[in-house]
Each structure stands twice: as C-alpha cells, then as structure tokens.
Amino acid sequence: MRKLVLLALMALSVLGPLVAVRAHAEPLATESELEKHVTAIAQNLRCLVCQNQTIADSNAALAIDLKNQIREKLGQGMSDDQIVDYMVERYGDFVLYRPPVKATTLALWFGPAAILLLGLFMLFRYLARRRQEQPADVPLSEAERERAKALLGMADEESR
C-alpha cells in the first residue's frame, strides 16, 4: 500500500505541472479554426509530388509534411503571406498553384499554348504535304469509261 501511495505521489509530481501549464496556456485557435486556416493556405500551394493537386487535396507524404509546416508556422505567429513567401523561397514559384506571370514562370503560363500551336502547325503542314503528294485527277480512257458504265449498269440491274 505504501508503494502505491509513493507511486501516485511521484506521478502527480511529474504530471501536475504539465496539467497546470496546459490549463493556463491560451490556445491560438480552436482545432477546427486552425484546420480551416491551414486548408485555406494549402489551397493555394501545389503538391510537388502530384503536381495537379493542391497540398490541401493531396495525400502524398510531402503534402502532409507541408501542411504540418503550415500549422507550425501559424503556431509561430507567421501571417499567410509570410508562410507562402517561405514556401516560395524554399520550393520556388512552382509551389504556387497560381504562379505569378514573370520571366521565370513564362513556360508555366504559355508553354501549353505554345505546344498546342506547334502541334496544329505540324498537323497543317502534314495535311498540306499529303495533299500535294496525291496524284492529280487523271481522266479515264475510253476503255475504262466503257468498263465503268458496264459495271454501273450491272449494279443498277441487280438493285431492281
């Protein structure tokens, strides 16, 4: 019994201060508010693994790590812009789901349109070249014309 009392006192002496600190600490925000804030920031950042999803939508390990970093930075009191700037500094403009138009991001903005235009240009060139390679209409000789009339005449008789 004496050992049990000593064990309980030791546990209270270790855990008591932790409970007291936790009780007096002011929460930054409720969990749901914090999660909404993290999600709002994460909606503007691209998952570097998936590349076609925001980190809010992705379940990749890196996306989860980035969301945890956002939570940590919010806990440190950083603003949304400071967090986004931190991510851009660390990962480049590509991490932004909507990167700004500037010299380093021109390929991101205009690359798909340039590839589409190049593809259309190549298709039109191919079709033009193919049209030139086709033989010109050569008139039928008399023998060929007579044979065609005979064949067409046979087809007319069969359809009746």
Higher pLDDT, 114 or 97: 114
Indicate whether 95 and 109 sit together in one domain: no
CATH code of residue 85: 1.10.8.640
From 56, 74, 99, give the residue that closes a domain: 99
Q: Which domain holds residue 70?
A: 30-99
pLDDT band at 112 (very low <50, low <70, confident <90, very high): very high
Indicate whether 92 and 109 sit together in one domain: no
With 70 as the cut, is the pLDDT of residue 129 above it?
yes
Does a structural domain hold residue 64? yes
The string of DSSP letters for 53-116 reads SBTTT--SHHHHHHHHHHHHHHHTT--HHHHHHHHHHHH-GGGBSS---SGGGHHHHHHHHHHH
Q: pLDDT, tens digit, for every residue of 22-59?
A: 544 444 455 688 899 999 999 999 998 887 899 999 99
Does a structural domain hold residue 39? yes
Q: What is the pLDDT of residue 137?
A: 76
Q: How many domains does the chain have?
A: 2
What share of the chain has pLDDT > 90, as a percent? 39
Indicate whether 80 and 115 sit together in one domain: no
